[in-house]
Chain A
C-alpha cells in the first residue's frame, strides 16, 4: 500500500525488548478496588450505588451525564465499602471521587441472556451498546467511543483506521494484544466498521512489530475489507493526525475533526473492548497495562481490573523504589508523573514505568542556541523555539501567533533539543494560562451581567417604591377630598 509520510518526528530508543516477549498475564485480583467516577474527557459520572451495597461483576456503578461521558462498571463482584476521594491519575495529585469495592473473589456476573448476533443489529444499536459498556478510547485520549461512532456514521466516513502503532517507547500492551488475540481484534474491527458503516478498515502497525503484523494478516485473510498496513517506526506515528497523514496522505484541517474528512481512528485495544462488549455483553472492566523500566525487576504486560492501585502492579513486577528516579503513567514521551502509588488504574492508562536516573538522563538545560532541531522535529510544523521563548515570558498572545493551540504536546521538540530545554512544560504552562484566561474572562462577564442586573433590580424597586408612594399619596388625597366633601 502506498504510504505518504508526515513531517518531523523523532526516533527515541524503543526499549520495547524489556517486555515485548512477555505474554499478557492476569494480575491476581486485589483485595480492594478504587474505581474513579471520572475516567474520560467530559462530564463525570454520578454514583448509583450506596455504601454497603453488594455489587456483581459488570454492574453499573456510575451513570453518565451529558453527551460526552461514559458509565463506570464494577470490575468484579464485592461490596461497596465507601465512596470517597482518591488521588487521581493526574500530575497535579488532586483527588477524584471513587467507588471503593471490597472484592469477594467470586467474580459473579449477573444472570443475563447471551447477546444476539451483533451484525444483525442496526448500527445505532451497536453504538448504543458500546456507550453502555463504558468504552472510551484506550490509546490514552479517553474520548467516549460511542460518541465517535455516531459522529463517524453521521459524517459518512469511508475508512476506519485501527491504530496499532504503539509509538511510545517501552509500551508493549497493544503489541501483545495483537499477537495473542488477533481474531478477537479483527472481530472488533468488523463491528466498528459495521457501527460506522465505513467501507474498509486499515490496521496500522509500525514495522518494529513483525509478529503482530503477521498474526493480524493471518487472522484477516478472509476479510476483504480489512487490510493490515505496515508503517515505518517513527514517533508520533500513533497520533491520529499523523497516522491519517501517513496512510491517507491528507491532513485534518485546523478546527475540523477527522470524521469530517472521511476517516476515523480507533485504537486496537478499543476494537478488542468492542468485541467483548458486543459478543459477550461485558462492559469495559479491565485493560492491559505494560509495567516496565529498568527499576522493575520483572517487566510485564498485565491485564488489570480498573481501579487497581498502581502499587499492586509494581509489587507484582518487582518494583525497586531505591533505583527509581521517575515513576510515570503512560509512555516516556507523553506520560505523566505519578503523584503516588495509590493512584488507581483508569481506562486510559496504558503503562506504568519506573525509570532509573540513567534512563531519564536528566541534564541541566543550557540556553537555546537556535539550532532549529525542534523545528525539524515538530510534526505539526510549528516553531517550538519561538513558542517556548514566548511562553517562558508569559507572552501567551505571542505564543498564540506562533500556533500554540495547534501543539499537541507530543514532546518531539523537547526530546530533540540538545540544550535540554523543557519546551513542553513551557508550552503546557502557556496553554494552561490560556484556559485560565478564558475562564477569568467568562467569570468577568458573569460578574458584569450580575452587577447590571443588580443595578436594574435596585432601580426597579426604587421605581416601584416611588409608584407606590405616589399611589398612596393620590389615594390619601382622594380620601381627604372625599372627607372634605363629606364634611362639607
Chain B
C-alpha cells in the first residue's frame, strides 16, 4: 500500500472560493462607501481607515495567538469585511476610539474568541455595533447633515484630523437627526405623524441618501444596486433579503393602514436607517445565518419582524443590529429543526411507503 493518502473525488472543484466570496461583497459595498466619503468628508474617511486597521490588527493578534497561517486567514478577506461593515455603520464623525474599540471588539470578542472564521455565533460587525451603541449612546447617535467633500462648509483635511482624533465637536448648525430618530422623538411628544414628517421627509432624497445617517448606510439606492449585483453574481441568494424586506414592508403597511398618524408608511421604513444594508449585506452573512433555504426564509422574516418591533415600540429608533444579533442566536435552532427532507424518507425520517406506480398502459 502506498504511503500517501489517496485522494477521493470529486477531482474537479467549483471556481468560487472563500476569498472570492468576501471580496465580492466588498466590491458590492464600494459605491455606497464612496458616496459616504463624499457625503461626510474627511472625518468619515479617517474613521473608516481607523476602524478597518483596528479590525486587521485584531485579526492578526488573534491569528498569532492561535498559531494560524496569516497568509491563508488574513487573505480570506473576512477581517477586512468585518471592519468595512462596522465602519459603514458608525456615525461618520465619531471619534477615533469608537472605531478602534469597535474594530477590536468585533474581531477579537465577536470572532476569534469563538475559534475564528466560521465558528462565531454572532455577526461580528453587528455585535460590535450593539456593544458600542449600548456603551456609548451619545457618540453613537451623533448624526449630522451631509457636508459634501469640497463644499463650502465641509471641514478640510487638517480640520478633519482634529474632529476625528481630538474630539472637536461639530458645530450645532451641522448636527441633524436621522429620520427614524426624529420620528421617534416627535411621536413620543404625541405629535401626529403627518405634521412630524412635513418638510423633514422626502422619499426621493431619503432613497438617494443625502440625509443624516451612518457613514455608509444612507443611500438605499446604491446599497440596493450592490445587493442586486451580489444576487446576480450568486454570492448571496434572494431568500434572506426578500424575507426580511418583505416582512418589514408587510408589517409597516398593515400598521400604517390601521393608523397612518401613528405608524410610518412602508416606504419610509424601507428607505431609512440600516434596513437595506442589513438585508443584503449583514443578515446574509453565511456563518451566522441558517444553511437551508427554508431556514433562511424564517431567519429573514424573523429579522424583519424584530426590526419593525424595535423601531416602532422599542427604546431605540433603529433595530437592525439588535434584530440580526438576536436572530443569530436562533440560527442553530433553525438549522436543527428545518432540515431538508431526505430522499426516500418522510420528514419524520421514516422511509416512504413502497408504492407501485400505476402501470400506464394497463
Contacts and interface: CB of A to CB of B under 8 A. Distances in A.
B14 A417 contact: yes
Q: Is the interface of B mostly helix, strand, loop or mixed?
A: loop
Nearest to B15: A361
Contact of A385 (B2, B119, B291): B291
A332 interface: yes
Given A158-B359, A332-B10, A418-B18, 19 more contacts: A158-B361, A250-B357, A251-B343, A252-B344, A254-B342, A262-B357, A333-B11, A339-B6, A380-B342, A381-B343, A382-B342, A383-B291, A383-B335, A409-B9, A414-B13, A417-B14, A418-B20, A422-B8, A424-B10
Given A371-B21, A417-B14, A366 B76 contact: yes
Given A364-B72, A366-B18, A91 B6 contact: yes
A411 interface: yes
Interface in B332-353: 335, 339-345, 351-353
A337 B345 CA distance: 33
A370 B332 CA distance: 11
B9 A424 contact: yes
A12 interface: yes
B17 interface: yes
B65 interface: no
Interface string A227-268: 000000000000001000100101111111000111100000
B13 A420 contact: yes
B116 interface: yes
Interface string B4-39: 001111111111111011000000000000000000
5 contacts: A158-B357, A328-B9, A359-B12, A414-B9, A418-B20
Contacts of A418: 14, 16-18, 20-21
B204 interface: no
A10 B72 CA distance: 27
Nearest to B343: A380
B256 interface: no
Given A251-B352, A381-B341, A385-B291, A326 B361 contact: no
Given A260-B354, A417-B14, A371 B286 contact: yes
Interface in A359-381: 359-364, 366-372, 375-376, 378-381
Interface in A288-340: 326, 328, 332-337, 339
B40 to A, nearest CB: 32
Given A158-B361, A367-B117, A254 B12 contact: no
A300 B342 CA distance: 39
Contacts of B10: 12, 332-334, 411, 414-415, 424
B271 to A, nearest CB: 29
B119 A367 contact: yes
A333 B9 contact: yes
A31 interface: no
A415 B17 contact: no
Interface of B: 1-2, 6-18, 20-21, 72, 76, 78, 116-119, 286-287, 290-293, 296, 335, 339-345, 351-357, 359-362
A91 B8 contact: yes
Interface residues of A, number: 76
A388 B222 CA distance: 39
Interface string A168-184: 01000000000000000
A363 B339 CA distance: 29
A212 B340 CA distance: 36
B9 A372 contact: no
B356 A261 contact: yes
A94 interface: yes
A433 interface: no
B76 to A, nearest CB: 6
Query: Which residue, of B119, B287, B340, B341, has the highest number of chain A Cβ atoms within 10 A?
Result: B340
A368 B118 contact: yes
A261 B17 CA distance: 41
Contacts of A367: 116-119
Nearest to B357: A262
A420 B339 contact: no
A336 B286 CA distance: 32
B2 A419 contact: no
Given A326-B11, A369-B18, A383 B343 contact: no
A451 interface: no
B17 A425 contact: no
Nearest to A427: B8
A200 interface: yes
B345 to A, nearest CB: 5
A332 B12 contact: yes
Contacts of B16: 418
Contacts of B116: 367
A7 interface: yes
Nearest to A361: B13
Query: Which residue, of B2, B9, B21, B342, has the highest number of chain A Cβ atoms within 10 A?
Result: B9
Nearest to B339: A383
Closest 10 CB pairs of A and B: A372-B291, A411-B10, A371-B286, A254-B351, A253-B352, A254-B344, A158-B359, A367-B118, A381-B340, A425-B8
A416 interface: yes
B14 A416 contact: yes
A334 B76 CA distance: 29
